[in-house]
Structure 1
Amino acid sequence: MKKSIFLSFIFILIYQGISSQVILEANGPGNTYELINSILANAGKDVIEVPDCVHTTFGRHIDEVFDTDLNKNVFRFYAHVSPDNDRCKTFDRQRTEIKSYDSSPENLKATIGETVAYKWKFKISDTFKPSTSFTHIHQIKSVGGSYESIPMITLTLRKSSPDRLELRYTPTNDQNTLKTADLDLFRGNWVEVYEKITFGDVGRYEIEIKNIATSQVIFTYANNSVDMWQDGAEFARPKWGIYRSLNSPADLQDEIVKFADFSIEEITGSLSVDDLTSNADQIVLFPNPASHEVNFKNVTSDTYTSVELYDTFGRQIFIKNSLHQNKLNVSELSKGMYFVVFKKDTITTKVLKFVVE
């Protein structure tokens, strides 16, 4: 397993202790399944659902590659019209997905009364062909109860006139389409998704999707009073990937969907989409590595109320709550990696890592 998996895991542990947030980031080719399971599963468990069993000559259907648009490593999810199926269990559909489930850490499972924010990025090709039936790329599903087979929330891509993205919802077994958008808004573009759910019989749901290159909001929906708990459920959990019908294979083609920067965060306070997309997202630090001081750009009085510093063991290092002229003196720190945590009241809004050399 790659050394960077270990460092990423330390980073996640620090982040969990601060804000109950879990982040899954691609870190380069190789050991992709191991990386995903190290973050989304408990030891020895597997949260990856792929058609590797039937398509052994291709190999793993999820890997990592460097993306020049985002300037970072991302995940690639593959779906082949033939011979891929649903894990050699179901043959009228194909599945390449990751998820959290009953053997995942507790803070990856949403329970009634909790508010959870999900964030991620994805990109479909500029020639993407969705199924006439369904091509799911995201689901929120229940575990337990009579309705666990059908997702509460689905983002699905559908062949239509024009092809579209659909936001689908069900509290029981009666699915409804809440909102649609022209699929051409998504084809060939990296987009960023912010989804926040308060789980309960009288819950709340909101989502915003933004084109990363242009910062244009291309999809948004919110409902402040909606049933977001399926009767009998033990918990709810997310899924991401490609899950599509083979009812009309002639309409399909081999596809790659890229994903990046998965985040699951249990929220103790009350946040809106505006909070999640605040100016804190734009904070950057330089130089990195550093030996004397690090500078921060795009830090304003409304982006944080406190700032904290941690080492790779999760130990907090005392600094003043406010930065002096947007600078931090690191000359007395030992060589190694550190994490600067910006917080707005009790909510973590930004974490930046840097190296002291």
Structure 2
Amino acid sequence: MKQKSIFYVVLLCSAIIQAQVVLEANGPGNTYELINAVFANPGRDIVESPDCNHNDFGRHIDEVFDNELNKNVFRFHIHVTPDNDRCKKFDRQRNEIKSFDDSPENLKGNIGENVVYKWKFKLSDTFKPSTSFTHIHQIKSVGGSYASIPMITLTLRKSNPDRLELRYTPTNDQNTLKTLNLEALRGTWVSVKETVKFGNAGSYAIEIRKTLTNEILFNYTNTSIDMWQDGADFTRPKWGIYRSLNNPQNLQDEIVKYADFSVEEIANPLSIDDLKKQAERIVLFPNPSSKEIEFKNIGSLNYNTIELFDFSGRQLNVDKKFQNDKLDVSDFSKGLYFIVFKKDTVKLKVLKCYIK
């Protein structure tokens, strides 16, 4: 009797990673040089620190070994006095790293791109935020009339209780999307994952977890949100400490630790129509066959199941008979069969197969 079994092949259909940039601390010394080597093109300095008016302290970003993470991390310093914003503005303080227009292309967010940002950070046990703003992360446009205000901001604010705020604006009207009691973050390493589809019909998601326990502390998702400020050339991420000095009596010298910065561009997933167009190229050879049938032009078609049916519509079984895009049909009865390529529940292609 001829063998009958279900022809069911499962493929891993994960997104294709286009580009990833990772910045990790590697030990004391040459910290600015390390940051620039990863986040900037040769000859460019993308560290914006208050060193210019506080040179006797030394570099305001350095690297230390962290016993909790068991690895080297970046340490961002800020002092109530005399630190300012690059010797240009004196009502605020800035110690940040970011990408620029001449940074590597895969560090810049362009319209239509999907980008995942990941990093870790740790506030001190007694961290004191400003009543105005204490930004620790931003996604900001470059170019256009709205470039002065970031699309996305994680800011820490003195309140009752002190809180983390997720702030958003597509133009110049900034809104708070969600808040978190700051006590949940003080003295704890947390891991952040931020997923963005840049565009007027974009999407945004963020998740903050305790690094050591993986407990979720904060999350937010919006799959229909304007994530492109009109007229922008590109967007860029920023990390560090950027705080107001409007009420310095409420502040103290602070250290924020950061680790494991990652910027990852993800390819846009193909639509079902695109997949069907890909599937149109598939042919069977030889057909008819009595031994083996090869699937030609299957390439990188993003399908996740293949099913085989006989002429009466019964689904048949060919366990372990599919290898290297070839199907062994030597044990099947003569006749007409149908091979179905599917993506989830959608049929991409149906092929007639003759066994002689």
Counterpart AA for 2:234: F
Going from structure 1 to structure 2, the CA distance change for 1:115 and 1:18 (only over 3 Å counts) comes to: closer
Supply the distance in 1 between the matched residues of 2:17 and 2:175 (Cα, whole angstroms). 37
Q: Secondary structure at the match of 2:95?
A: strand
Give the Å deviation of 1:159: 0.2
Counterpart in the other structure of 1:148:
147
| Residue 34 (structure 2) pairs with residue 46 (structure 1) | no
Counterpart in the other structure of 2:354:
none
Cα pair 2:167 2:174 within 8 Å, conserved:
yes
Q: Secondary structure at the match of 1:103?
A: coil
RMSD, aligned CA: 1.5
Supply the distance in 1 between the matched residues of 2:17 and 2:232 (Cα, whole angstroms). 28
Supply the distance in 1 between the matched residues of 2:30 and 2:176 (Cα, whole angstroms). 38
Counterpart in the other structure of 1:301:
none
Counterpart AA for 2:82: P
Counterpart AA for 1:130: P
Counterpart in the other structure of 2:234:
235
Alignment of 1:1-357 (within 5 A): 19-269=18-268
Supply the distance in 2 between the matched residues of 1:54 and 1:22 (Cα, whole angstroms). 31
Count of matched residue positions in the alignment of Structure 1 and Structure 2: 256
Counterpart AA for 1:182: N
Supply the distance in 1 between the matched residues of 2:112 and 2:80 (Cα, whole angstroms). 41
Give the Å deviation of 1:19: 4.0
Q: Deviations over 1:312-352 (max 9, x none)?
A: xxxxxxxxxxxxxxxxxxxxxxxxxxxxxxxxxxxxxxxxx
Give the Å deviation of 1:213: 2.0
Counterpart AA for 2:35: I
Give the Å deviation of 1:18: 6.7
Supply the distance in 2 between the matched residues of 1:162 and 1:50 (Cα, whole angstroms). 29
Supply the distance in 1 between the matched residues of 2:99 and 2:109 (Cα, whole angstroms). 10
Counterpart AA for 1:200: G
Counterpart AA for 1:111: N
Per mean C-alpha deviation after superposition, the further-off stretch among 121-130 and 211-220 is 211-220
Q: Secondary structure at the match of 2:51?
A: coil
Give the Å deviation of 1:85: 0.1
Q: Secondary structure at the match of 1:20?
A: strand
Q: Deviations over 1:91-149 (max 9, x none)?
A: 00000000011010011111000000000000000100000000000000000000001
Q: Secondary structure at the match of 2:25?
A: coil
- Equivalent pairs: percent with the same residue? 73
Supply the distance in 2 between the matched residues of 1:80 and 1:189 (Cα, whole angstroms). 21
Per mean C-alpha deviation after superposition, the further-off stretch among 36-45 and 18-27 is 18-27
Structure 2: runs of 5+ lacking an equivalent:
1-15, 270-303, 305-356
Supply the distance in 2 between the matched residues of 1:203 and 1:89 (Cα, whole angstroms). 35
What TM-score, normalized to structure 1? 0.70
Supply the distance in 2 between the matched residues of 1:47 and 1:103 (Cα, whole angstroms). 10
Give the Å deviation of 1:215: 1.3
Give the Å deviation of 1:66: 0.2
Supply the distance in 1 between the matched residues of 2:214 and 2:202 (Cα, whole angstroms). 29
Structure with the greater alpha carbon radius of gyration: 2
Structure 1: runs of 5+ lacking an equivalent:
1-16, 271-304, 306-357
Runs of 4+ in 1 over 2 A off after TM superposition: none
Q: Deviations over 1:14-42 (max 9, x none)?
A: xxx97400000000000000000000000
Give the Å deviation of 1:214: 2.1
Going from structure 1 to structure 2, the CA distance change for 1:18 and 1:179 (only over 3 Å counts) comes to: closer
